[in-house]
Amino acid sequence: MTDTSIPRADQSPDEDAAPIAKTGTEETEAEERGKKAPAESDLFRQSEIAADYVEGLLDILDYDGDIDELVSGGRPVVEVVGARLQNLVGQRGATLEALQELARLAVFRQTGTPSRLLLDVGGYRANRRKELAAVAKNAVEKVKEYGEPVRLEPMSAFERKCVHDVVNAMAGVESESEGVEPSRRIVVRPAD
């Protein structure tokens, strides 16, 4: 049976893939690496496709915004900047997450490859990253002071990753996600 489902955005493109048989040749190993890490040109192409899609949406909505396509941290990124874009972010980034999923689907439709595209509107993600770093540091301080786990409010996958990154960079604490979407949250606890 052939699986024709579209991978979830939080699912790694290789998560459900069958293991590749290894023959030990350098050529096969290079092919395997190539499948796991798309070339930068492929990632930039994904950001171009997504940018075209987002530009079409902005035209339909009659919103003005400058769109930048780039590759950052091994993933395609589309940034939209301009005035009057708050409606594209929505409450706590909910609309932005939905637009990101639509842009990822547009990329998948054209390339046949799942994308880890990151969409940012009006610098929301950059600002939210700073806020989440402060939340993570506060939780770490509480864990170190009281020695008890700290449960944070439910967060999106993007927000949880930001918090995990900050906590993992600090000694003496660890973090893990618990629960089910949309109520998935992070627990910060003393390291074993």
Can you give the residue ranges of every domain in the chain? 40-122, 126-190
What is the model's pLDDT at position 181?
87
Each residue's pLDDT tens digit, 80-116: 999 889 999 998 899 999 999 999 999 999 999 999 9
Residues 140/123, Cβ–Cβ less than 8 Å? no
pLDDT tens for 123-159 read: 999 899 999 999 999 999 999 999 999 999 999 888 9
Taking the domain 126-190, which CATH number applies? Answer: 3.30.1370.50
119 neighbors 99 (Cβ within 8 angstroms): yes
Half-sphere exposure of 153 (CA within 13 A, CB side): 4
Q: Are 173 and 189 in contact (CB under 8 A)?
A: yes
CA angle 163/169/171 to nearest 5° reads 115
**Residues of the chain above pLDDT 70, percent:** 81
Backbone angles phi, psi at 15, to 5 degrees: -55, -45
Query: Residue 26 pLDDT > 80, yes or no?
Result: no
Q: How far apart are CA 76 and CA 70, in angstroms?
A: 6
* Residue 31 pLDDT exceeds 90: no
pLDDT at 60 over 80: yes
CA distance 91 to 96: 9
Q: Which CATH class is domain 40-122?
A: alpha beta
Are 40-122 and 126-190 the same fold in CATH?
no
